[in-house]
Amino acid sequence: ETTNELSIYGRSMKKAKFIKPYQLPVGQRVFVSFDLGINDATAMTFSILNKMNKLEIIHHYHNNGKPTKHFLEYLEDFQNTFGVIKNNMVLIMPHDSEKREDAITHLTSRAEAYRNAGYFVNVLKAIPVNQSIEVTRASIQHEDISFWETNPVNIMVSLIKQYEYKSNKVTGENLW
């Protein structure tokens, strides 16, 4: 598979570490990082901290145009498939998840919807996009992040390899 020449993560992904999946230990904490998608898919990236305290990306799911209820059902399916209990899951949401609404039974923020479903939700503070990109690239290159060799993770890796800077041709502003 080729990497997009303008890819933000292309060079880093050439150095990425891929590992064979294994049975998660009982009681394993799973972190689920969300990208709520403004004009694209909502994505959930599932990860764990291994014995060396390094991040392993173990699963990925994304879908377009689905309500929060759909993603709650997916989380439940994940728990059943991987033998993870809800209390061992930490949902990591972007700063705007406290403001972005989604109809479930009534209008509520996305973060509040997941809290109401019984999940621990950690809402991140906003940081400059370039800072998060640099930290991610360095972490991949130094093998602080590794990737399970599974179809869902491989799909995510393919998407990452295509992620590129896009700019407004008039203002020159990055459009991410």
Answer yes or no: are the C-beta atoms of 102 and 71 closer than 8 Å: no
pLDDT of the residue at 108? 79
Mean pLDDT across the chain, nearest whole number?
86
Q: How far is CA 62 from the centre of its chain?
A: 9
The token pair at 142 is 């130094």
Please say if the pLDDT value at position 148 is more than 90: yes
Nearest to 91 by CA among 75, 104, 68, 107: 75
Tell me the pTM.
0.86
In tens, the pLDDT along 89-112 reads 999 998 888 876 665 555 778 899
pLDDT in tens, 51-94: 999 999 999 999 988 888 899 999 999 999 999 999 999 999 98
